[in-house]
Structure 1
Amino acid sequence: MSQKESNQLNRRKFLGLSALGLTGLTVLPSWVIDGVKIAPSDRVTMGFIGLGQQGMNDFASFSSVPGLQVAACCDVDTMKTERFKRRVEEWQKSKNVAARCDKYERYEELLERKDIDAVEVCTPDHWHALQTIHACQAGKDVYVQKPLSFTITEAQTMVRVANDNKRVVQVGSQQRSSAEFQKAIELVQAGAIGHIDKIYAKVGEPPKPLDLPEEAIPGNLNFNLWMGPLNDPKIHYHPDLCPPISLDPMEKEKLWGAWRWYRETGNGFTADWGAHMFDIAQAAIGMDGSGPSEIIPKGYNGQDYLTFKYQSGVVMTEQPYLEDMPNAQGIKFVGDKGWIEVARGYLACSDSSLVPEKLAGRRPRNLTPEERKKMFEEMQKAQAKGGGSFEISSPHMENFIDCVRSREKTIAPIEVGASTAALCCLGNMATELQRPVRWNPATESFGKDKEAWEHRLYHYNYRGSYKL
């Protein structure tokens, strides 16, 4: 059989499976969850693209949302697709729903499924743009993990395509759905601490050059497809980039994908945690959909910290928000009448009466190695049961599914994700250029700064036939 005939046969087989999938899911009985009956017509059917540690965590959150079904999954690692399929089908059986989750290696085939209403994009950052754009063009609503994009141009294109196709998009900046951060934003915007002069937002270091040694690619991983649009010849396989798992016996990833820490494959802590902390800071000062006008890198003319200056006069620095906890991620808003500190599970204010007791939480502290080990072990045990991670946020997923039904804007819409992603890119751009970068957030332009216009974090030339 020729390759062409084989492809045609596979195509016919795929279309047949799609039809079966559509029939199988539409005849499912209504669910009853917490006494609430979910009719088939109200059900939202999802496909998941990217099935690593974060994808598994996100499914655990989505699985608690009433009226959700999962029809398909996709990853370039066959072990991870099989792991996800097993987990989903166990969940389906527990809900007395027919167990079926089809597996794909290429996301384009998943997007052709007519029975899928929405997808999650939980792949490495360099794939977010193409997969989100193609999903929107295929008529799917999208939950895309943060940061929204790898470059500024990608973010701009994603916004345009999502709006042109009238798609609902939620960016995985789940702190937007957390009560302590919502209260911090409310207090700042209500003037509780007066005029904001400074913001300390601790996120971490920018990316470093790739320094992992090359290793043999395992047979279960399509690393060429994992690379996708990445075009840097220095990129090669190392298990830290695509953390391996085992199915029998079941063993999870032992670390988060290290692609995020390297300049060739990610945008470092600047984007990884910046998509959370910078995002909340911008929301509080009314800069959603906008951004800073000048970005000054750490070390420039003695500058102690990466600095973002806004036209309003607010200055945000990437520096510790707690003096005795230099590496703790969080935010401190400093106004002329007081201050507010906020991090995950913690909210404090110079006027303690403004913080509800249920939101105050515990002040972050330095953990001993033994405490860190115990915390990690407990998290792994909980994850093995389908939950228990600091990256799980059911309210954020429920907001997305509610908006898929109502067609309203999500709490973290694509326009907000784009402005936050641009801010993170601008921070790394100034760091790499080792000088200030001026940015007009209204026109999204650099003026006459040719170096900035040509920087890879503004526009990235994709590999081979990949095109934005």
Structure 2
Amino acid sequence: MKSNTTRRDFLKTGSALAVGASAPYVITSSALGDRQKPPASDRITVGHIGVGSRGRSILNQVRRVQDAQIVAVSDCYRDRRESIAKVIRGEAYQDFRDLLARDDIDAVVIATPDHWHVPIAIMAAQAGKSAYVEKPLGLSLEQTLACEKTFAEHGVVFQYGTQQRSTAHCHHGCELVRRGAIGKVHTIEVDCPNGGEGGTPTPSPIPDGLDYDMWLGPAPQTPYTVDRCKPPGSYWIYDQSIGYLGGWGAHPLDIMVWGSDADLSGLIEVEGNGEIPTDGLYDCVFNWDMKIKLGDVKMTFRPGADRTKFIGEEGWIEVCRSKDRTAASDPVLLATKLDTEDTQLLVSNHHQGNFIQAVKEKDPTAAVSNMSDAARSDTISHLCDIAVRTGEKIVWDPTKKQLVAPSERAKAMLSREMRGPWTL
């Protein structure tokens, strides 16, 4: 974000900061800490950007983390930010840049609509703040790779909102696959919930208290409609998202990455088909049917339940969001107790708690859903979107991180134009 990321630019919009800075400092009993909560000086201070339904859910989880102290929120909806600010006894900001300009905030949680994830995450990293970022990652492959590069350069912690990595049964299933419990994996099946069509394109008055221009941000200037700024519209409109290919596909695709490095084993070839609505507001790919090659591993990606099935030469393991649906060719496999000293994957029992601990340790490698893995799964989502929209077989080199012999149309889809003044 060239024109919007410097401390100088942040401080230009810091009127709200000035108000907060002029308030008298009062030492409260909670600041001193107690047996359950460490003193304020030992806590990681957190700001939340986006406090809609999903954002509030994450905020409530962070509030349960002993070493975390939420001090500020930002949202384009006035009633959201003000009501949550009262709950946390912190500051409310209309412009997230004012929150990022605060030197007393260590980390941020980004739970905005999809099109804002990477721009804000990049600005956070440039401001020296670690970031917990909801899925999906980028609105384009260019955004995803730019985000990965920025976090590597600044050395701050990144945690992806793929919380299944912090569930015991998902960890167990992926550990078994990595330890060779089903032999060499030759096929992977990935399913996730479908997208859809509909939504009214009829313009409506902008609700009182909504900063719609900021809500759109880098997305194209379009009239406000009642279905644009709320789910499923905020997930299924192509100006703002790639639909559930990424928005929900991030979960089972992330499990695919966690349980296997097949996507790093050779060229990735993606082809398939899907539907793109032509009526109504929603215009992201749905009813997709993707056939993928990850080196010599075959993979399918289709709508369905949230699951990732690894099929090997000696059996199969299916890892699902629901523990009750997780299964194996031999049920005894799932009852296998693993030697914790030989654990290949990080262990986390609380996704937000793991993030806070990684920030406290200043160790990006301690985050269970790291930046590199997030970019890998997000790349698959984008390759599928490009394949459906171009009708072509798309080939990706995971080492060089670039398309192989792309057509002009495929090459053009690597990036998205951003509405000024926002830029990568």
TM-score band w.r.t. shorter chain: 0.7 to 0.9
* Local SS of the residue matching 1:150: coil
Equivalenced residue count is 390
* Partner AA of 2:17 in structure 1: F
Pairwise CA distance, 1:211: 5.5
Q: Trace 1:67-86 onto structure 2 (pairs within 5 A).
A: 67-86=67-86
Pairwise CA distance, 1:438: 0.8
2:57 alignment counterpart: 57
Pairwise CA distance, 1:87: 3.3
1:259 alignment counterpart: 234
Q: Quick check: 1:310 aligned with 2:294?
A: yes
Structure 1 CA distance for aligned equivalents of residues 13 and 330 of structure 2:
65
Pairwise CA distance, 1:27: 8.8
Q: Are the counterparts in 1 of residues 185 and 312 from structure 2 also a CA contact under 8 Å?
A: yes
Instruction: Choose which of 414, 430, 446 in structure 1 pairs with 2:403.
Output: 446
Pairwise CA distance, 1:270: 0.7
Q: Quick check: 1:190 aligned with 2:179?
A: yes
2:419 alignment counterpart: 463
The change in CA–CA distance for 1:281 and 1:25 in structure 2 (over 3 A counts) is farther
* Partner AA of 2:152 in structure 1: N
2:3 alignment counterpart: none
* Local SS of the residue matching 1:230: coil
The change in CA–CA distance for 1:307 and 1:54 in structure 2 (over 3 A counts) is same
Structure 1 CA distance for aligned equivalents of residues 398 and 187 of structure 2:
19
* Partner AA of 2:403 in structure 1: F
* Partner AA of 1:334 in structure 2: I
* Partner AA of 1:352 in structure 2: P
Structure 1 CA distance for aligned equivalents of residues 161 and 27 of structure 2:
27
2:320 alignment counterpart: 343
Q: Quick check: 1:400 aligned with 2:355?
A: yes
The change in CA–CA distance for 1:221 and 1:350 in structure 2 (over 3 A counts) is same
* Local SS of the residue matching 1:116: coil
Pairwise CA distance, 1:28: 5.2
Instruction: Choose which of 28, 31, 35 in structure 2 pairs with 1:29.
Output: 31
2:341 alignment counterpart: none
Instruction: Choose which of 221, 225, 228 in structure 2 pairs with 1:241.
Output: 228
* Local SS of the residue matching 1:417: helix
More strand by share: 2
The change in CA–CA distance for 1:292 and 1:82 in structure 2 (over 3 A counts) is farther
Pairwise CA distance, 1:51: 1.0
Structure 2 CA distance for aligned equivalents of residues 299 and 135 of structure 1:
35
Percent identity (aligned)? 30
Q: Are the counterparts in 2 of residues 48 and 73 from structure 1 also a CA contact under 8 Å?
A: yes
Q: Are the counterparts in 2 of residues 197 and 334 from structure 1 also a CA contact under 8 Å?
A: yes
Pairwise CA distance, 1:451: 2.7
Instruction: Choose which of 429, 447, 452 in structure 1 pairs with 2:386.
Output: 429
The change in CA–CA distance for 1:205 and 1:263 in structure 2 (over 3 A counts) is farther
Structure 2 CA distance for aligned equivalents of residues 295 and 122 of structure 1:
29
Q: Are the counterparts in 2 of residues 48 and 72 from structure 1 also a CA contact under 8 Å?
A: yes
The change in CA–CA distance for 1:13 and 1:239 in structure 2 (over 3 A counts) is closer
* Partner AA of 1:461 in structure 2: E
Q: Trace 1:244-323 onto structure 2 (pairs within 5 A).
A: 256-287=231-262, 293-298=268-273, 305-311=289-295, 313-319=296-302
Pairwise CA distance, 1:260: 0.9
Structure 2 CA distance for aligned equivalents of residues 62 and 299 of structure 1:
38
* Local SS of the residue matching 1:194: coil
Structure 1 CA distance for aligned equivalents of residues 72 and 131 of structure 2:
14
Structure 1 CA distance for aligned equivalents of residues 159 and 228 of structure 2:
26
Pairwise CA distance, 1:199: 1.4
2:331 alignment counterpart: 352
* Local SS of the residue matching 2:189: strand
Q: Are the counterparts in 2 of residues 203 and 330 from structure 1 also a CA contact under 8 Å?
A: yes
* Local SS of the residue matching 2:201: coil
The change in CA–CA distance for 1:11 and 1:85 in structure 2 (over 3 A counts) is closer
The change in CA–CA distance for 1:149 and 1:398 in structure 2 (over 3 A counts) is same
Instruction: Give deviations 1:137-181, integer Å, cap 9, x for gaps.
Output: 111111111112111111111112112111111111111111111
Structure 2 CA distance for aligned equivalents of residues 9 and 201 of structure 1:
46
Structure 2 CA distance for aligned equivalents of residues 172 and 265 of structure 1:
18
Give the structure-2-normalised TM-score. 0.84
Instruction: Choose which of 61, 77, 94 in structure 2 pairs with 1:105.
Output: 94
Structure 2 CA distance for aligned equivalents of residues 147 and 9 of structure 1:
30
Structure 2 CA distance for aligned equivalents of residues 44 and 229 of structure 1:
30
* Local SS of the residue matching 1:84: helix
1:334 alignment counterpart: 311
Pairwise CA distance, 1:307: 1.6
Instruction: Give deviations 1:76-124, integer Å, cap 9, x for gaps.
Output: 1111112322332xxxxxxxxxxx2111111111111111111111111
The change in CA–CA distance for 1:293 and 1:11 in structure 2 (over 3 A counts) is closer
* Partner AA of 2:352 in structure 1: M
Pairwise CA distance, 1:420: 1.4
CA RMSD of aligned residues (A): 2.9
